[in-house]
Structure 1
Amino acid sequence: MSTRGGTFSRRGLLAAAAAVPILAGPPWVSAARSQDDPLPSWNDGAPKRAILDFVGRVSHGSGRDFVVPAERVAVFDNDGTLWAEQPIYFQIAFALDRVKALAPEHPEWKDTQPFKGIIEGDPKAVAASGERGLLQVMAATHAGMTTEAFNGIVADWLKTARHPRFGRPYDSLVYQPMLELLAYLRASGFKTFIVSGGGVEFMRVFAERTYGVPPEQVVGSSGATKFEMRPDGMPVLVKEPKVEFIDDGPGKPSGINRFIGRRPILAFGNSDGDHQMLQWTAAGAGPRFLGLVHHTDAEREFAYDRQSHVGRLDKALDEAERRGWTVVDMQRDWNAVFPPAPRSAR
């Protein structure tokens, strides 16, 4: 993993995170919709009109662009597209917190990097350890656990962990406009999938409660597990510190082909890690919709693109402008970013 400039590369972080099945159970966040306006958190502008036009064309049988429901496949990245991703991917925040929680049981970590840097709150020391160090963290804190035990630990973490800037639970920092879009697509006969570099086990639990996307419609990076029969006769799956599949960059089209089996007609992302997914979607025959969320709102969320160490948007933005893909300017095109804060976070 590259650590130029003291930051983790996205691919390196995802490679390490792939071995971690983070599971979350946030409360359902409903997508507020009205009969007249299915996308009330979207300002009236080119992106909203493009979405409404596209969905109308492909879902009405009288037009030449009609697409049968079985082929109305829509895919969405998760980090930075459906929920926030700054200042670090939320899955990584969990892993780092696990080191701190387990530190009393491992006094040797006080003198061993990257554990020492994590315990002391030294991000430069953590970044300097590179991919090997992050994989070491994942292995030390997660390997050997059953999936059920790990799920419980993450669920407990989500009850108390708070975002460093917003002071809200991580699983409440989903984008209200995207919740509305997901609901609108499903109401229009689409099947919505998440295709993300994040850990698939992580997303498969919170995705249904948060986005209405069931586990079988989530594609993500995966780590190896092994089947074991315990002495009491209970079969379990145990996490191993090995990466099985990286669903990022060029891995996304491969993941779509492997786990979905249909080329999407709509794809939404926010970074260069989604570039190939959008290219793959655009290359199909018939009507296509390609969208990018551009983080331009430093006041309500974050503003970043080409130089960001998390969610870098550079080459994909250039191609979007060149090919006329829909670029959603968060500051201009959304009148709300997050749903109202839960009571516990107010």
Structure 2
Amino acid sequence: MIDRPAYAIALSLVLVLLAAVPLEHASARSDSLPSWNDSATKAAIVEFVARVTKDGGPDYVPPAERIAVFDNDGTLWSEQPMYFQLAFAIDRIATLAKDHPEWREKQPFKGVLEGDLKAVAASGEHGLLEIVAATHAGISTEEFAGIVDSWLTSAQHPKLKRPYTALVYQPMLELLSYLRANGFKTFIVSGGGVEFMRRFAENVYGIPPEQVIGSSGVVKFDIGADGEPRLVKDAKIEFIDDGAGKPVGINRFIGRRPIFAFGNSDGDLQMLQYTAAGRGARFMGLVHHTDSDREWAYDRASHIGKLDKALDEAKSKGWAVVDMKTDWSVVFP
């Protein structure tokens, strides 16, 4: 039989002891960003979230307006030595080449089939879009989804020898969860293909398909040979969600200006500028790839994820810049 007076005294003593634990120790145990080292960047994130979620505080933001946007390539997962969707498209070219003999004499397809990635890169944005359009078109959205799922299951990164979906950044996964736990709605706003990203965004990032904004091709309604209605992907590009297209996409698909934005390249600059221009408390951040041991080190001269003008603006305006090497104790899960 329980001695209730003694039990009450013991419980009171435990509560007193817990209350006496130093605040910094209690905070460490409940740290929602464990893969972030205790740096100025982490402190800025935590301080910002505390400000905008403090009910009655001067910077309080209602939950409906707590919009956070993230670039994908180089911000939520790796992007070297080429964008992962381009790697997918290149694999598709090899698969489809037997039906397109003309590709062996036409760039950028000729470069892909010969393994000449310099020739592919020389074709510029137009060439890359041509590759994506040619390898994604002429099939239904359901067929495309199945092809992407199969590729993500079987393909591995050539250098790191891991599935592409394992090359997400653990600190950013924690940040996404931390924001959502504090009433934020998280969106992907990326130059990547929207239907490609939607195949893994919910499972990997916890971001549902309707909160993924990306570049898109024309899709047409059709009745298949089996009499079933379907959507068929066309080779024409409808919308490019990169650079100045990012704030346009945010306005079109979200309808609210974000208060929190993270990118990693000059292609994200306008999204960060648009976020910064709003009223009230704002947070703008960049992932700076500085870790050649655990990932890659690159910025101004890189042909992928070039970080030049955005880095200068971040420094001049006091935006947060994540130094991957020193700010993150862990890179990949």
Give the TM-score normalised by the residue count of structure 2: 0.88
Number of the residue aligned with 2:307: 313
Equivalent position to 2:121, from 118, 121, 127 = 127
Asked if 1:210 corresponds to 2:174, the answer is no
Q: Please state if 1:245 is matched with 2:242.
A: no
- Is residue 33 of structure 2 the alignment partner of residue 50 of structure 1? no
Distance 1:114 1:285 in 2: 45
| Distance in 2 (alpha carbons) for counterparts of 1:249 and 1:97 | 27
How many angstroms apart in 1 are the aligned matches of 2:107 and 2:250? Answer: 37
Q: Secondary structure at the match of 1:220?
A: strand
Alignment of 1:1-346 (within 5 A): 36-339=30-333
Structure 2 CA distance for aligned equivalents of residues 131 and 249 of structure 1: 13
Pairwise CA distance, 1:65: 1.2
Shift in Å, 1:135:
4.0
Shift, 1:150, TM fit: 1.2
Q: Cα distance 1:128–1:308, how it changes in 2: closer, same or farther (>3 A)?
A: closer
Partner Cα separation in structure 2 for residue 131 and residue 248 of structure 1: 11
Which stretches in structure 1 are left out of the alignment for 5+ residues? 1-32, 340-346
CA contact (8 A) 2:149 2:199 kept: no
Deviations 1:172-198 (A, max 9, x none): 100000000000000001111111111
Q: For 2:198, what is the secondary structure of its paired residue?
A: helix
Q: Which amino acid aligns with 1:219?
A: I
The residue number in structure 2 matching 1:344 is none
Instruction: Measure the CA separation in 2 of the matches of 1:50 and 1:130.
Output: 37
* Cα distance, 1:142 vs structure 2: 2.3
Deviation at 1:132, TM superposition (A): 4.7
Higher RCO (Cα < 8 Å, 6 or more apart): 1
Partner of 1:205, secondary structure, is coil
Provide the C-alpha distance between the structure 2 equivalents of 1:112 and 1:169, rounded to a whole number of angstroms: 31
**Relative to structure 1, is the Cα distance of residues 65 and 299 closer, same or farther in structure 2, using a 3 angstrom cutoff?**
same
Classify 1:149/1:273 alpha carbon distance in 2 versus 1 (closer, same or farther; 3 Å): same
- Aligned residue for 1:27? none
CA distance in 1, matches of 2:272, 2:125: 27
Distance change (3 Å), C-alpha of 1:78 and 1:62:
same
Amino acid at match of 2:164: Y
Aligned residues: 307
Query: Equivalent residue of 1:98, what SS?
Result: helix
Q: Deviations over 1:106-131 (max 9, x none)?
A: 34433433322212211223234444
CA distance in 2, matches of 1:130, 1:191: 34
Mapped to 1, the partners of 2:191 and 2:222 lie a distance apart of 27
How far the C-alpha of 1:258 sits from its partner, in A, is 0.9
Instruction: For residue 93 of structure 2, give the secondary structure of its aligned residue in structure 1.
Output: helix
Residues 44 and 128 from structure 1, CA distance in 2 versus in 1: closer, same or farther, beyond 3 angstroms?
Answer: closer
Letter in 2 for 1:155: D
Query: In the alignment, residue 227 of structure 2 is paired with which amino acid?
Result: G
1:36 Cα deviation after fit: 1.2
Whole-angstrom distance in 2 between the partners of 1:129 and 1:249: 19
In structure 2, the residue matched to 1:10 is none
Q: Distance in 2 between matches of 1:63 and 1:135?
A: 47
Taking the aligned partners of 1:162 and 1:140, their CA distance within structure 2 comes to 23
Shift of 1:66: 1.2
Structure 2 unpaired stretches of 5+:
1-26
CA-based RMSD: 1.6
In structure 2, the CA distance between the partners of 1:77 and 1:42, relative to structure 1 (3 Å rule), is: same
